[in-house]
């Protein structure tokens, strides 16, 4: 399988989902973490079967963005970055890198 770059300059992207009852976010989880709530619903869930995606109230997206070769001095950048709790190791090169994080609330989340 050949990798195809979708957005130039995005070295890595992570997504976490803000979950909680009554619009109160209590934790951010990966998609697998949200799905795991189906087997163990949080306290306060009264209707079964429980769809954990109905308590997702926000999405947090993290990006590791990289510039072109030569955009940073040799050795100026670390080779290990953290994007929403996930450790990313990149080559020691001359690309300028930066982590950006965005959180957005979801409206009308009733499914």
Tokens of 109: 């989340």
User: What is the pTM assigned to this prediction?
Assistant: 0.86
What pLDDT is attached to residue 110? Answer: 58
19 bridge partner residues: 27, 56
Sequence-distant (6+) residues with CB within 8 A of 2 are none
Which candidate, 3, 12, 5, places its Cα nearest to that of 65?
12
Residues 4-15 pLDDT 10s:
888 889 999 999
Cα-flanking dihedrals φ and ψ of residue 81, to 5°?
Answer: -130, 155
How buried is 97 (Cβ within 10 angstroms: 0-12 exposed, 13-18 middle, 19+ buried)? buried
106 bridge partner residues: none
What pLDDT is attached to residue 27? Answer: 95
**Within the chain, which residues score under 50 in pLDDT?**
none
């Amino acid at each position: 399988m050949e990798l195809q770059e979708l957005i130039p300059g995005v070295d890595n992207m992570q997504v976490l989902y803000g979950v909680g009852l009554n619009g109160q976010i209590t934790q951010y989880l990966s998609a697998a973490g949200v799905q795991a709530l189906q087997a163990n619903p949080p306290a306060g869930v009264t209707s079964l079967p429980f769809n954990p995606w109905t308590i997702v109230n926000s999405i947090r997206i993290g990006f590791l963005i990289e510039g072109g070769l030569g955009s940073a001095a040799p050795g100026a950048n670390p080779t290990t970055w953290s994007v929403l709790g996930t450790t990313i190791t990149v080559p020691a090169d001359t690309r300028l890198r930066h982590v950006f994080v965005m959180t957005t609330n979801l409206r009308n989340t009733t499914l």
